Amino acid sequence: MSLPEHRAEGQNARPRHIFVCPIDKHPLAPSGDKLICTSCNLQYPLIRGVPILINESESVFRISDYETQQAYHGASGYGGTLDKTSGAKKAYRRFARFLSEAPVPGGSFDFLSQILSERPDAKILVVGSGERQYGENVTYTDVAFSKNIACICDSHDLPFSDQTFDAVIAEAVLEHVCDPQKCVSEYVRVLKPDGFAFATIPFLQPVHMGAYDFTRFTHLGLRRLFRQFDEIASGVCGGPVYSGIHLFREQLLCLTDNHRLQTVLRLLGLLVTFPIRYLDPIFSRTMQSYNSSCAFYFFGRKRQSPIPDRDILGMFRGR
């Protein structure tokens, strides 16, 4: 049976996407401003033309969270094109965002070029996309309305059929899910044979996004999480200096619970630590750096069966 195609409308033109019920993975049929599962008859609304495809029985999110005029924009508070503030407050947010999200010196890895060199027409799924953009033939998903979003969905139950995509990208996502292993199992399910996965996750980093921050991973823990992938590359994407930077910024905020004072302290921390970030590549060259790095990345290729834990232990990096 061929699956129906649905177009998510919004600020920018978006490609057509094929969705299935996030619960039983059966086709969805359009009906007015809803999509209805052809098997279980559950209905999923389209809000602003975006399907809300959440398995409410297994998710911390509810479909009703997205149905009000002030529709839920997720725990992330992405800002950017969604920031409705103005004046000095907006200027502060933009400046703070620039300081806090500036690229990590020496911490980037060009996984996308490698994917496209092998599969020029690769279909790519981005989980927790925020406002990131990766080019053509990309399906963007998130738990919050954001730029170019194809659907709202929970990473634990992706609304796509088996073996749909050539690659899955999950940057700074897996610390924000209740069950990281279930999410990675979903990535495996929707990937074609020999498909790619790229993920980043923090290790030594304070809590961010409040209650929507659940876990941290060592480099070896991240490797085990992706044990159904052969490693192409992995490593540090924010070294020991970045760990210190994040902890220092957080320690400043511990001086008070007053929101206005914290705003001043947050900006002070960003300004003081911004130049120090250029030291990070110097401290990220050794195996010892794996013991105290801020974050790690993993890039791998789907394999037929998981790597045994005994073999995972042999992949340890550190001292």
3-state secondary structure of 245: helix
pTM of structure: 0.89
pLDDT tens, residue order, the chain (319 aa): 333 344 443 434 445 668 999 999 999 999 999 999 999 999 999 998 999 999 999 999 999 888 875 555 544 444 444 556 667 778 888 888 888 888 888 777 899 999 999 999 999 999 998 888 888 899 999 999 888 899 999 999 999 999 999 999 999 999 999 999 999 999 999 999 999 999 999 999 999 989 999 999 999 999 999 999 999 999 999 999 999 999 999 999 999 999 999 999 999 999 999 999 999 999 999 999 999 999 999 999 999 999 999 999 999 999 8
Helix or strand run (H / E) with residue 139: strand 138-142
Q: Is 319 a domain residue?
A: no
Instruction: Return d(Cα 158, Cα 190) in angstroms, integer.
Output: 8
3-state secondary structure of 254: coil
- The whole-number pLDDT of residue 192 equals 98
Q: How far is CA 173 from the centre of its chain?
A: 3
Q: Is 32 a domain residue?
A: yes
CA distances from 146 to 50, 78, 143, 261 (A): 10, 8, 9, 30
Q: Is 318 a domain residue?
A: no
- Domain interval for residue 124: 5-313
The CATH number of residue 17's host domain is 3.40.50.150
Q: Is 84 a domain residue?
A: yes
Handedness of CA 142, 145, 147, 148 (dihedral sign): positive
Longest dimension (CA), the chain: 61
Q: Is 96 a domain residue?
A: yes
- The whole-number pLDDT of residue 16 equals 63
Exposure letters 168-206 (e unless 16+ CB within 10 A, then b): bbbbbbbbbbeebeebbebbbebbbeebbbbbbbbbbbe
The total number of structural domains that make up the chain: 1
